[in-house]
Structure 1
Amino acid sequence: MPLGQMRSGERPNLTAHGYVLQRMRQAILDGELPAGSRLIQADLASQFAVSITPVREALRDLAGEGLVVFDPHRGSRVRSFDLAEVREIYELRMALEPLMVQRMIGRVAPDRLDEAERLMRRMTRTKDTAVWSDLNRQFHACFAEDDKASRLATILGGLRDSASTYVGLSLRASPERRAESDREHAEILDCYRRGDTPEAVRLAVQHMRTTLVTIEEADAQGLL
C-alpha cells in the first residue's frame, strides 16, 4: 500500500496535519517505514499530496512521541531500536507507576473510568497496531493526575509516550501479546473501580514487566 494511503475505512475527517501524522505513525509502528529510514519532507509532501507545512508539523509531533529523531546534518529519520533505552524506560515506569496508583485509587472520577472502558473496548476491536498503541497510551493516561499539577504525572506522561514506540514494535513481533494485554487492562480497570490498591499496583508492574520481556525476547530473535 503506498505510504500516502490509509487502510479502507480508516481515513476519518482529519486535517492535512492529522492525516499525515496518523498515517506516518501507522507506517512506523507497522514496520512499513523501518528504523533508520530517512524522512525527506519534500518527498513525503509529494506522497501525501499536501504542502510541506503539515509534514513538518507531523514530524515534530512524531519526534515528541519518540518515533522520529532529528539529525542536524542528515535531517529526520525513523528512530532506531535501542534495547538499553527500552529497559531504562520500563525500569523507571515500574518504579514510579506504583506511586501514581497509590495516589489515584479512589480519586479517579467515574467519567474517566468510563472513558478508560470505552478506550479498552476500542482496543479489542481494532486490528491496527498503530491505533491500538495510541489507544493504549490514552487508556493508561486515564488513571494519572493532571500533569499541570503534578511533576510525577509529567515524568510518567513522558515515559508513557516514549514507551508507545516500543509497545507497537512488541505487538508487531508478538501479535499474541495483544489479547493478553487486553485482559490485563480489564483487570486493572476493575481494581480501580473496586479501590484495590495492592492488586492494582501488582497488575500495573506485571503489565509493564511482561511488555519489557516480550520486547527483549523479540530482540533476541532478531525480530526488531
Structure 2
Amino acid sequence: MAVTSPRRRSIFASRLVSSAPEGGQPRVLEDLRRAILDGDEPPGTVIPIDAVAAFFGVSQIPVRESLKILTGEGLVEHRPHIGYSVAKLRFEEFRELYDVRQALETSALRASVPLATSDDDALVGSVHEALAEATRRGDEKGYHSQSRRFHMALIAPSGMQRLLRMYESAWNVTEPARPMARVSDGGRSQFHADHDRMIDAFVARDAERLVTESAHHYEHLRAAIAGFADDPDLFLGPE
C-alpha cells in the first residue's frame, strides 16, 4: 500500500480560533472540529498536540480525547510514530461519500417536499442568492460553505434528525479537501443552473422532479471532483 506521509511542519495551531467566552472553559473539541471543517489545513496536515494544548491553555489530555473523538468521526487519523493529522482519503473513498450523500439526500427530499413551508422556500432562495454573490465576489470559502447550506436547507424540513446527522457526517469527511472551492467557474455555473431547477421543483412541491434534478446535480458533482482525483496533496495513492 502506498502511503503518503503527512506534512511534518504544521501551522495548524497558529490558525486555531477560540470560541470560548472570555474567562470560559476552552471548547477544545468544537474548535478543533471547526478548524478542520473550514478547510484551511488540507488533508495530511499534522496536528501537534503540544502546540494545540498550549493554544487552549490546557493539558494534553483533553486535546488527545478530542482528537480521538474526531478520529471516530473520520476527520482525523492517527498513525503510530507520526501522530495525529487531518484525515486523508483515497479518491475512491472520497467519491463513495458522494454516493452516500445522494442516497440520504434522496430519501430526505421526498420527505421534505410535503412538509416544506413558505419560510423554507424563502430560506432556500436566500441561500441560493448568497451562493451567487460568493461567486461574483470570487469568495471560494464563502461559496464552499453556502453550497452546504443550500443542500441542508432543502432537506431540513424532512425532520428526519437521525438521517440528517448521518448526511452531515458524510459531508464533513469531504470538507478538508474543500471540493467546491476547487470547481471551475464553468462548473459553478452548471451547479447554479442545477440549483435553479431544484428550487423550482421544491417550491412547486414536486418531489419526484426534485429527486430527478438532484440526481442530475450529483452527476455533475462527480464529474467535477474527478478533475482533481490525482492530486497527491488531497488524496492517498492507490493501494
Stretches of structure 1 lacking an aligned partner (at least 5 in a row): none
- 1:204 is matched with which residue? 214
1:42 deviates by 2.9
Amino acid at match of 2:133: R
Distance 1:68 1:201 in 2: 33
Contact 1:116 1:189 in 2 (8 A): yes
1:66 deviates by 4.2
Cα distance change, pair 79–174 in 1 and its aligned pair in 2 (3 A): farther
- 2:187 is matched with which residue? 177
**Given the alignment, which residue of 194, 204, 207 partners 2:204?**
194
**Given the alignment, which residue of 84, 92, 96 partners 2:100?**
92
Residues 1-47 of structure 1: CA deviation (Å, up to 9, x unaligned)? x86469xxxx9x95475776655544xx35xx33212111332466x
Amino acid at match of 1:196: D
- 1:116 is matched with which residue? 124
- Taking the TM superposition and a 5 Å limit, the aligned residue runs for 1:154-173 are 154-166=165-177, 168-172=178-182
- 2:149 is matched with which residue? 138
- Note the aligned Cα RMSD (angstroms): 3.6
Cα distance change, pair 5–70 in 1 and its aligned pair in 2 (3 A): closer
1:61 deviates by 8.1
Residues 100-140 of structure 1: CA deviation (Å, up to 9, x unaligned)? 22222231232223222222222223344344333322221
1:210 deviates by 1.4
- 2:88 is matched with which residue? 80
Q: TM-score scaled by structure 2?
A: 0.66
Distance 1:55 1:135 in 2: 30
Distance 1:62 1:132 in 2: 25
Aligned residues: 209
- 2:140 is matched with which residue? 129
Contact 1:137 1:164 in 2 (8 A): no
Residues 24-83 of structure 1: CA deviation (Å, up to 9, x unaligned)? 544xx35xx33212111332466xx55348977986786576443344654320121321
Amino acid at match of 1:204: S
Distance 2:121 2:93 in 1: 31
Cα distance change, pair 64–186 in 1 and its aligned pair in 2 (3 A): farther
Contact 1:94 1:205 in 2 (8 A): yes
1:85 deviates by 1.1
Three-state SS of the structure 2 residue aligned to 1:157 is: helix
Distance 1:41 1:156 in 2: 29
Amino acid at match of 1:201: V
Three-state SS of the structure 1 residue aligned to 2:85 is: strand
Amino acid at match of 2:182: R
Q: TM-score scaled by structure 1?
A: 0.70
Stretches of structure 2 lacking an aligned partner (at least 5 in a row): 1-10, 21-25, 235-239
